[in-house]
Structure 1
Amino acid sequence: MFTVVERELEMRLVLSPEHAVAVPARLGYRTDDPYAVHITFHINSQFPVHWTFARELLVEGVFRPCGQGDVRVWPTKTEGRGVVLMALSSPDGDALLEAPAAQVSAWLERTLRAVPPGTEGEQLGIDDGLAQLLAQ
């Protein structure tokens, strides 16, 4: 049995310094995939976009710039409110998304209560599986 921690929120796709578009999104976390976070954009559209990356990257990115390559995350302030920026790159294009820091942080706290940092491996049952394999 596993636990799912989800949160729907409105992110903003930053098109230029002056222009951004609202994008409905869903943050997802599953205890049977304890190292990853999942973000789905355009959740009510015919072709939603899914991204998966390390939970640790998002946790760190709430506090300081981190990541390289396909996913980079950093905190900043926009119009006097705390936000988390996510720069996502793929062969299909690049996107800069802005999420409310308070909502992302509250959701991350729920994931950290479900699976505390350092205990992710215990969720996978690798030790039990290996013991069963070696017992045969």
Structure 2
Amino acid sequence: MQHTVVERELELRLILSPEHSIPVPARLGYRSDDPFAVHVIFHINSEQPVHWTFARELLVEGVFRPCGNGDVRVWPTKSQGRSVVLMALSSPDGDALLEAPAAQVSAWLERTLRAVPPGTEGEQLGLDEGLAELLAQ
């Protein structure tokens, strides 16, 4: 089965304080063989890239309204007149507040939604065929 990969390089901003932020090169990734998840990979003063995976649905909703709780929260806002999406990430290693350009995130999400429309994620995993096979035995 052919898998679709939808990636996008973009520059996020790591918010250090209300007045200070630094650019962070990042890559958004989506794979049709892992259809419920999105992957964000970025470098912050570390040898190894930082890799976060969370629900695609969370990011889709977060472009429009605040959502999420716990480790990942996403919400839209304005920064210097531009529409941005903020992602608050928490882990035992620390917390990060990242700002992403809303238009670029939305365009990339649209590509993922065309690749795997909402509600069809289960079909991508072949769960139905696997279940039918199990029950037939």
Q: Which amino acid aligns with 1:129?
A: G
Q: Scaled by the length of structure 1, what TM-score is found?
A: 0.96
Q: Scaled by the length of structure 2, what TM-score is found?
A: 0.96
The Cα of 1:135 is off from its aligned counterpart by 2.0
Distance 1:134 1:54 in 2: 30
Q: Secondary structure at the match of 2:114?
A: helix
Structure-2 residue corresponding to 1:122:
123
Structure-1 residue corresponding to 2:23:
22
CA offsets 1:101-133 (integer angstroms, 9 cap, x no match): 000000000000001111111111011011112
Where do 5+ consecutive residues of structure 2 fail to align?
none
Structure-2 residue corresponding to 1:97:
98
Alignment of 1:36-47 (within 5 A): 36-42=37-43, 46-47=47-48
Q: Which amino acid aligns with 2:7?
A: E
Counting strand residues as a fraction of each chain, which structure ranks higher? 1
Q: Which amino acid aligns with 2:122?
A: G
CA offsets 1:18-55 (integer angstroms, 9 cap, x no match): 00010000000000100000000029x73000000000
Structure-1 residue corresponding to 2:55:
54
Structure-2 residue corresponding to 1:134:
135
The Cα of 1:63 is off from its aligned counterpart by 0.3
Q: Which amino acid aligns with 2:80?
A: E
Alignment of 1:75-90 (within 5 A): 75-90=76-91
Matched residue count: 135
Sequence identity percentage: 85
Q: Which amino acid aligns with 2:89?
A: L
Distance 1:134 1:23 in 2: 49
Distance 1:130 1:79 in 2: 51
Alignment of 1:61-76 (within 5 A): 61-76=62-77
CA offsets 1:81-118 (integer angstroms, 9 cap, x no match): 00000000000110000000000000000000001111
Distance 1:46 1:103 in 2: 27
The Cα of 1:74 is off from its aligned counterpart by 0.3
